[in-house]
Amino acid sequence: MSDGPVVLVRFGVPIPITRALVGDYSLWFQRALGDEPLGVVDLRDPDERLPRDAAAVIIMGSPQAVYDAHPWLARAQDEVRRLLADEVPLLGVCFGHQLLAVARGGVVERNPRGVEVGTTDVHLTPAAARDPLFGEFDGRLRVNNSHDDAVVRLPEREPPTLLGSTGKDPHQVLRWGARAWSVQFHPEMQARETRLAVDWRSPRLASEGGDPLAVRDAAQDSPDGVRLLRRFVALARGAS
């Protein structure tokens, strides 16, 4: 059992209107995890470091694209590879999911199947039934998505285990090792954050034939997302 902190890794902030209405990404996780104290490290800042005694690390989403030439991207990939090698409990979310993929040799591109935003069903694979994190779910999670990009090719060397997919993203849930997972969806997002995400992504959604108003109206809270985050922290802290 680890008494160290659960650390959120930041690579960006919400657009101003979203931040004003629902706060920074770290607050979304804090609301989901209740009294669990969370630290925040911004790896875009060369002076910030991940604590070596972290009980777990969650890499949050970002409006940045993981395939752009960010000056901090090489360092971010090195940190991911270190966390994986050291078997630190790790969860990548959206941008974090994509960062794990490129750090291990996968490919991320603008999703050729289109933007995925709103409340969606993630269908789990048979392997998920035996997984310590996803095995508690009965074949499906109802969660919230918001992404333009996707993992389009998995790493060929040491490929992850596929645990879940949606119609627009066959690589929604991946397991990278004994204590590392990543999800393209946002377990921390509830209905109000999701409605704001739909507003932000409505131009692309409409251009691809979607109905932003209908998607917005259908947004729901996600007890499955909250349950997943709490299960991850419990596993990191040694609960069975």
Catalytic residues: 94, 186, 188
Neighbours of 48 (CB within 10 A): 12
Residue 68 · residue 94 · CB < 8 Å? no
CA distance 132 to 116: 27
Tokens 């917005």 sit on residue: 216
DSSP 75-117: HHHHHHHHHHHTT--EEEETHHHHHHHHHTT-EEEE-TT--EE
> If you ran DSSP here, which 8-state letter would residue 20 be given?
H
DSSP β-ladder status, 169-177 and 6-10: unpaired
By C-alpha distance, which of 58, 1, 72, 75 is closest to 240? 1
